[in-house]
């Protein structure tokens, strides 16, 4: 679906904001992928599980599972969200593959962004009265396909009687200018530490998405089954072996904890009664015994002994590495585990 820039935000190249207007902007920098991008305070940087975070803004997410950086702001009225994401397309391992169009995207045309030679194409998506539109900007850099997506998400079913007036032309122009200005701050700042020798595995059943060495093979030891959702068993699990080490990603679903509130009525932090009981019964250290690493509104990361947990309201995802004797090993100073972990954090 293609829209002209006169209809929605459209992303015609508008004049970039003056330098003094950007002096108070924030900077997101990725040492792993060697780039930085700047953004105004009205936007939010989503660096941990951006897909889960930006669902609160829009029915169709601005950033998808390939995002390693997501800069987004809530929308206004029929504009649900607007943002800029930086994606790594691991499956596009050549320049030809990086710039190839398909049914949803293309054709690509040359364009210069911040002095760099990108190729750009329009895209669109729609579902149940909602749509997302925008432009893709791709560049094959250090043998890695980078994609910058400048996008907006809209509510197509909108009436003045029920919801108020639609977003006005001046507001569209202002947000479009902000998105264009963010795009033009993107720059490469160093080498791509996580280079081209990685592939992506995605398990639609449990929703796991992670990167693994291209020379390895991911094996699903426990495929997703609805029955496991209602039992005490692991819901799904996959692993790969690299240089004699066995890396495992396991998910247990349907472990919602009781709603425990403090005197003020807020839910108390660190209440993982049911999850801890399940982990302990299966030989894992508890969440409560671990250290919190990071948190968003939907996912919290913990380290407990040799394990890393990503904990949502109902699920626990367990990352671990073991030796040839199947005993868990410390992931410290393990570059493959560090990369696996980063691919979950993104």
The 10s digit of each residue's pLDDT in 144-169 is: 999 999 999 888 877 777 677 888 88
Q: Say if residue 120 is in the same domain as residue 227.
A: no
pLDDT at residue 11 tops 60: no
Q: Say if residue 174 is in the same domain as residue 297.
A: no
Q: DSSP for 287-346?
A: STTSEEEEE-SS-EEEEETTEEEEE-SS-EEEEEEE-TT--B---TT-HHHHHHHHHHH-
Backbone angles phi, psi at 337, to 5 degrees: -65, -40
With b for 16 or more beta-carbon neighbours within 10 A and e for fewer, the 250-261 pattern comes to: bbbbebebeeee
pTM: 0.74
CB 131 within 8 A of CB 125: yes
Q: Say if residue 71 is in the same domain as residue 203.
A: no
| Residue 214 structure tokens | 């291209």
Q: Say if residue 184 is in the same domain as residue 310.
A: no
Where among 170, 188, 206 does a domain terminate?
188
Q: What is the pLDDT of residue 259?
A: 64
Backbone angles phi, psi at 339, to 5 degrees: -70, -45
Q: Say if residue 154 is in the same domain as residue 218.
A: no
Q: DSSP for 220-265?
A: EEE---HHHHTSSS-SEEEEEEETTEEEEEEEE---PPP--B-TTS
Rg, Å, the chain Cα set: 22
Q: What is the pLDDT of residue 9?
A: 52
Domain presence at residue 2: no
Q: Say if residue 241 is in the same domain as residue 131.
A: no
Q: What is the rounded distance in angstroms from the CA atom of residue 101 to the CA atom of residue 123?
A: 10
Which tops the pLDDT comparison, 208 or 188? 188
Q: Say if residue 221 is in the same domain as residue 137.
A: no
Give how many domains the chain has, as a whole number.
2
Q: Say if residue 222 is in the same domain as residue 293.
A: yes
The average pLDDT across 226-252 equals 88
pLDDT at residue 267 tops 50: no
Q: Say if residue 254 is in the same domain as residue 108.
A: no
Identify the domain containing residue 147 by its residue range.
19-188
CB 219 within 8 A of CB 201: no
Q: What is the pLDDT of residue 53?
A: 47
Where among 156, 188, 220 does a domain terminate?
188
Domain presence at residue 14: no
Q: Say if residue 166 is in the same domain as residue 203.
A: no
Q: What is the pLDDT of residue 323?
A: 93
On the CB side of 271, how many CA atoms lie within 13 Å of its CA? 12
Where among 137, 167, 188 does a domain terminate?
188
On the CB side of 227, how many CA atoms lie within 13 Å of its CA? 2
CB 175 within 8 A of CB 9: yes
Q: Indicate which CATH number applies to the domain containing 94.
A: 3.40.1000.10
Q: What is the pLDDT of residue 50?
A: 46
pLDDT tens, position by position, 295-304? 877 788 999 9
CB 92 within 8 A of CB 98: yes
Q: What is the rounded distance in angstroms from the CA atom of residue 86 to the CA atom of residue 137?
A: 9
Domain presence at residue 161: yes
Domain presence at residue 173: yes
Domain presence at residue 134: yes
Q: Say if residue 90 is in the same domain as residue 147.
A: yes
Confidence of residue 322 (pLDDT cuts 50, 70, 90): very high
Helix or strand (DSSP H, E) at 109: strand 109-113
CB 86 within 8 A of CB 35: yes
Domain presence at residue 8: no
Domain presence at residue 3: no
Sign of CA dihedral 190, 195, 196, 202: negative
Backbone angles phi, psi at 25, to 5 degrees: -70, 155
Which tops the pLDDT comparison, 195 or 313? 313
Confidence of residue 47 (pLDDT cuts 50, 70, 90): low
- In this structure, of 74-78, 114-118, 119-123, 235-239, the range with the lowest mean pLDDT score is 74-78
Q: Say if residue 225 is in the same domain as residue 159.
A: no
DSSP tag of 22: G
Domain presence at residue 10: no
């Amino acid at each position: 679906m293609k829209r002209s820039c006169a209809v929605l935000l459209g992303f015609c190249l508008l004049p970039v904001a003056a330098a003094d207007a950007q002096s108070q902007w924030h900077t997101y920098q990725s040492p792993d992928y060697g780039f930085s991008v700047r953004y105004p305070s009205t936007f939010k940087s989503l660096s941990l599980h951006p897909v889960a975070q930006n669902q609160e803004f829009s029915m169709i997410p601005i950033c998808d599972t390939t995002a390693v950086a997501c800069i987004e702001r809530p929308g206004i009225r029929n504009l649900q969200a607007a943002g800029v994401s930086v994606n790594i397309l691991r499956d596009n391992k050549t320049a030809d593959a990086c710039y190839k169009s398909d049914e949803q995207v293309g054709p690509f045309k040359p364009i210069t962004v911040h002095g760099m030679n990108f190729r750009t194409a329009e895209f669109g998506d729609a579902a149940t009265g909602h749509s997302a539109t925008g432009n893709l900007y791709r560049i094959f850099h250090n043998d890695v396909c980078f994609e910058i997506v400048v996008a907006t998400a809209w509510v197509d079913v909108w009436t003045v009687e029920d919801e108020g007036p639609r977003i006005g032309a001046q507001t569209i122009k202002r947000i479009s200018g902000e998105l264009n200005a963010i795009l033009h701050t993107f720059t490469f700042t160093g080498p791509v530490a996580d280079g081209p020798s990685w592939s992506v595995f995605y398990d639609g059943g449990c929703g796991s998405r992670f990167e693994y060495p291209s020379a390895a093979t991911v094996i699903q030891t426990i495929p997703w089954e609805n029955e496991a959702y209602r039992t005490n068993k692991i819901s799904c699990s996959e692993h790969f072996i690299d240089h004699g080490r066995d890396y495992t990603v396991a998910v247990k679903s349907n472990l919602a904890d009781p709603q425990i509130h403090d005197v003020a009525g807020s839910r108390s932090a660190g209440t993982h009664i049911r999850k801890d009981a399940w982990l302990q019964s299966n030989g894992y250290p508890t969440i409560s015994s671990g250290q919190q690493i990071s948190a968003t509104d939907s996912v919290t990361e913990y380290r407990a002994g040799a394990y890393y947990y990503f904990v949502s309201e109902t699920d626990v995802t367990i990352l671990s590495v073991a030796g040839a004797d199947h005993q868990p090993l410390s992931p410290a100073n393990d570059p493959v585990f560090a990369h696996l972990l980063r691919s979950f954090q993104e």
